[in-house]
């Protein structure tokens, strides 16, 4: 029971804070993470999941980590690259959005 309460407290402590996405270096490749509210999510006609962040990423910072992004307020994931992951991610984002809870999103690209 204590573990459940601790996890609940941690989850709720993050629910009111949207942090600007941050980028990091790792031996297996650089990555950016976002923890916060996804304001909008949908699948477009090009079979991509598009999600818009409450707090945009600093484009210059992300590009300095090799992300090569143009718009800092959104991320896209091509469903065809990993359909099972896309399905799980989309449903998780929708569930978090419906309950006004934050998402944790990582964009990792091998450099």
Please give the order of strands across the beta sheet that includes 38-43: 38-43, 48-53, 74-78
Using the predicted structure, report yes or no on whether residue 2 has a pLDDT greater than 60: no
CB atoms within 10 A of CB 76: 13
Residue 107: CB partners within 8 Å, gap ≥ 6?
31, 32, 33, 67, 75
User: How high is the pLDDT of residue 108?
Assistant: 54
Tell me, what DSSP letter sits at residue 28? Answer: T
* Residue in the structure block whose two tokens are 């204590």: 2
pLDDT digits (tens, 9 = 90+) for 47-59: 999 988 888 888 8
Summarised one tens digit per residue, pLDDT across range 59-102 is 888 888 888 888 888 888 899 999 998 999 899 899 988 888 88
pLDDT tens, 4-30? Answer: 333 333 334 444 455 677 888 888 888
The Cα 41–Cα 109 span in angstroms is 21
Instruction: Look at residue 106 in the predicted model and tell me its pLDDT.
Output: 67
Residues forming a β-bridge with 38: 53
Q: Which residue has the higher pLDDT, 46 or 36?
A: 46
**And the tokens for 107?**
């964009």
């Amino acid at each position: 029971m204590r573990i459940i309460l601790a996890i609940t407290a941690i989850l709720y402590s993050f629910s009111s804070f949207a942090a600007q996405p941050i980028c990091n270096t790792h031996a297996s490749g650089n990555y950016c993470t976002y923890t916060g509210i996804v304001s909008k999510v949908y699948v477009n006609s090009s079979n991509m999941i598009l999600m818009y962040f409450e707090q945009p990423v600093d484009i210059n910072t992300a590009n300095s980590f090799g992300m090569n992004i143009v718009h800092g307020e959104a991320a896209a994931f091509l469903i065809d690259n990993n359909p099972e992951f896309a399905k799980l991610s989309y449903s998780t984002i929708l569930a978090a959005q419906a309950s006004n809870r934050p998402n944790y999103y990582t964009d990792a690209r091998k450099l």
